[in-house]
């Protein structure tokens, strides 16, 4: 079946959704929900998947862009979570999304703030993480092992580090995704190729074990979707639809630093957070010149917003922590934008941290819960383990279904890339990069850049094939232009023109 998502397909699949009975209804189209739709559809089950907003509208687009092996979880004794992370990282690197997920180096500077004993313990942790890599089957050619760097080599990779007192650095490697929202789009399109109905702008108003009451947010029409089983994959909002699910959301804030703020950064940075045993601030350079820096871990009290805001206190904290390792401290003027995501952490009443402890100490293990009316809810976890979360949810919802196939199922774009494909397109579109290029060949005007090297052709492609329905979809999720407000404003006319063109 065709993998293209667009307004026309949405219309006719929406009409069918109100008349048929599907095997599985998935609510929520972040990484876990789109993953569950793919998992169920690839087992041969009929699937409808709805989201009140857009693909990757919630937490999935606000991640650190890491596909990591769970080193931090080893430090806290969560060996099972670390192993699961290493296995899922291997699947993404080797089989399911090698065009979107690659290895990236990270430098941990050995400043006077990092005692020699702590440095030795950190290297031991890196080596344990490398042992997990080997056990998971990931070859070194895809994910090199850790090493110790001289001060000179560390400064060559990260010239903005403070040279005074620098003893060298620890070099480690981990996975990263070029864009977390693009991973979700690939999941949804692959699910659609297996027959799933992917319906954005469809808000679930009420869930039951045999379906949901849904409202089309574009027209206001309400209708029922009937299903043999229902999976609630709405993440931090799960309790709004299934009140028996209790979560402790936490907020993670990232900064978007202006190009050049940290010089010619050739590797990511891990900067130890003062007073913390195994927490680091992360600095991750992007191909477009921007640099992401994060992240905080603060409890969220009160109502859960659709789009969380990054408070100035988080911005100041991150600037201060990262500045401890730099030759020139960062200023507020270096920050072009900021974003915050919410983690749907499971509130375990019998866990000591649930009695008032920090959300940073809560386990990142996911949970699959069944409410009295039969709705299956999947919560917790993290981006790296979305596939396993989706598999477990479908296993619980459909115990008689065939086994999951997704551990080795390539996503859209994961095929061979034709020689000569432009590097930036290949990194974002994989085997579809030439199809995007063909749009420009058909209409050279589409080669005009919009921002960050992104062309009008990519916006048109997103409308025709990636389910983008409005300018927000184009600027905030199919591309990440919108992370910087002035870039978003400048690109808005091009986005509106692409919607009309397509």
DSSP for 423-485, please give it. Answer: HHHHHHHGGGHHHHHHHHHH-GGGGSEEETTEEHHHHHHHHHHB---SHHIIIIIIS-GGGSH
Per-residue pLDDT tens digits for 168-204: 999 999 999 999 999 999 999 999 999 999 999 999 9
pLDDT(478) > 90: yes
Per-residue pLDDT tens digits for 36-74: 999 999 999 999 999 999 999 999 999 999 999 877 777
Per-residue pLDDT tens digits for 419-431: 988 999 999 999 9
pLDDT(351) > 60: no
Question: How many angstroms separate the CA atoms of 207 and 426, rounded?
Answer: 40
Mode of pairing for the β-strands spanning 21-27 and 47-50: parallel
Question: How many angstroms separate the CA atoms of 469 and 217, rounded?
Answer: 12
| Cβ-based neighbour number of residue 502 at 10 Å | 15
* Contact between residue 275 and residue 381 where contact means Cβ atoms under 8 Å apart: no
Distances (CA, A) of 304 to 92, 217, 342: 30, 20, 9
Q: In the prediction, which pLDDT does 330 show?
A: 96
pLDDT(123) > 50: yes
Q: In the prediction, which pLDDT does 420 show?
A: 87
Q: Which helix (H) or strand (E) holds 298?
A: strand 298-299
In which band, very low, low, confident or very high, does the pLDDT at 372 lie, cut at 50, 70 and 90?
Answer: very high
Q: Which residues pair with 24 in a beta bridge?
A: 47, 229
pLDDT(355) > 50: no
Tell me what the pLDDT averaged over the chain comes to: 94
Per-residue pLDDT tens digits for 373-399: 999 999 999 999 999 999 999 999 999
**CA 455 centroid distance within chain:** 23
* Contact between residue 481 and residue 440 where contact means Cβ atoms under 8 Å apart: no
Per-residue pLDDT tens digits for 277-294: 778 999 999 999 999 999
- Nearest CA among 26, 462, 448, 369 for reference residue 204: 26
Q: Report cis status (omega within 30 of 0) of the bond before 295.
A: yes
- The conformation of residue 242, written as its DSSP 8-state character, comes to -
Please count the helices (runs of H) and the strands (runs of E) in the chain: 15, 20
In which band, very low, low, confident or very high, does the pLDDT at 364 lie, cut at 50, 70 and 90?
Answer: low
* Contact between residue 8 and residue 157 where contact means Cβ atoms under 8 Å apart: no
pLDDT(354) > 60: no
Q: In the prediction, which pLDDT does 442 show?
A: 97
Question: How many angstroms separate the CA atoms of 389 and 35, rounded?
Answer: 8
Residues of the chain with pLDDT > 90, as a percent, come to 88
Directed axis angle between helix 456-465 and helix 485-501, to 10°? 60
pLDDT(296) > 90: no
* Contact between residue 183 and residue 100 where contact means Cβ atoms under 8 Å apart: yes
Length of the chain (residues): 502
Q: Which residues pair with 299 in a beta bridge?
A: 250
Q: In the prediction, which pLDDT does 356 show?
A: 42
Q: In the prediction, which pLDDT does 363 show?
A: 53
In which band, very low, low, confident or very high, does the pLDDT at 353 lie, cut at 50, 70 and 90?
Answer: very low
Per-residue pLDDT tens digits for 223-254: 999 999 999 999 999 999 999 999 989 999 99
* Contact between residue 327 and residue 163 where contact means Cβ atoms under 8 Å apart: yes
Per-residue pLDDT tens digits for 205-219: 999 999 999 999 999
Question: How many angstroms separate the CA atoms of 41 and 434, rounded?
Answer: 28
Backbone angles phi, psi at 174, to 5 degrees: -150, 175
Q: List for the chain the helix, strand, coil content (%; round to 5).
A: 40, 25, 35
């Amino acid at each position: 079946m065709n993998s293209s998502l667009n307004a026309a397909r949405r219309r006719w699949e929406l009409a069918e959704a109100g008349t048929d009975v599907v095997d599985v209804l998935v609510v929520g189209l972040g990484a876990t929900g789109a993953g569950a739709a793919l998992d169920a559809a690839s087992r041969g089950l009929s699937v409808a998947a709805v989201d009140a907003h857009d693909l990757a509208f919630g937490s999935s687009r606000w991640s650190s862009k890491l596909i990591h092996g769970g080193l931090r979880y080893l430090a806290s004794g969560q060996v099972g979570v670390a192993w699961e992370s290493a296995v899922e990282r291997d699947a993404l690197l080797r089989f399911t999304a090698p065009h979107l997920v690659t290895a990236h180096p990270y430098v941990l500077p050995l400043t006077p703030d990092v005692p020699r004993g702590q440095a030795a313990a950190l290297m031991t942790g890196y080596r344990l993480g490398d042992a997990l890599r080997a056990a998971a089957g990931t070859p070194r050619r895809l994910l090199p092992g850790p090493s110790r760097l001289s001060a000179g080599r560390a400064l060559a990779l990260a010239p903005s580090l403070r040279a005074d007192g620098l003893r060298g650095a620890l070099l480690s490697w981990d996975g990263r995704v070029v864009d977390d929202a693009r991973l979700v789009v690939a999941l949804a399109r692959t699910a659609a190729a297996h027959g799933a109905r992917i319906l954005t702008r469809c808000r679930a108003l009420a869930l039951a074990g045999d379906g949901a009451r849904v409202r089309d947010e574009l027209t206001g029409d309400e209708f029922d979707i009937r299903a043999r089983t229902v999976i609630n994959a709405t993440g931090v909002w799960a309790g709004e639809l299934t009140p028996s699910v209790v979560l402790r959301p936490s907020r993670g804030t990232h900064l978007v630093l202006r190009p050049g703020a940290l010089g010619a950064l050739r590797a990511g940075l891990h900067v130890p957070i003062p007073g913390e045993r195994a927490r680091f601030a992360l600095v991750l350079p992007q191909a477009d010149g921007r640099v992401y820096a994060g992240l905080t871990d603060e409890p969220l009290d009160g109502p859960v917003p659709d789009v969380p805001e990054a408070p100035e206190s988080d911005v100041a904290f991150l600037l201060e922590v990262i500045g401890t390792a730099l030759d020139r401290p960062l200023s507020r003027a270096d920050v072009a934008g900021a974003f915050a995501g919410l983690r749907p952490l499971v509130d375990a009443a019998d866990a000591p941290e649930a009695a008032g402890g920090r959300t940073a100490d809560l386990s990142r293990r996911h949970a699959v819960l069944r409410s009295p009316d039969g709705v299956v809810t999947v919560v917790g976890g993290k981006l790296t383990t979305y596939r396993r979360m989706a598999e477990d949810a479908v296993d619980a919802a459909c115990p008689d279904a065939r086994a999951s196939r997704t551990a080795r199922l390539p996503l859209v774009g994961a095929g061979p890339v034709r020689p000569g494909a432009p590097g930036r397109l290949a990194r974002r579109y994989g085997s579809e990069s030439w199809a995007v290029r063909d749009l420009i060949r058909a209409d050279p005007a589409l080669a005009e850049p919009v921002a960050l090297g992104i062309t009008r052709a990519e916006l048109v492609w997103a409308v025709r094939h990636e389910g983008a329905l409005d300018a927000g979809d184009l600027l905030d999720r199919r591309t990440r232009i919108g992370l910087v407000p002035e870039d978003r404003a400048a690109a808005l006319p091009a986005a509106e023109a692409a919607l009309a063109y397509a």
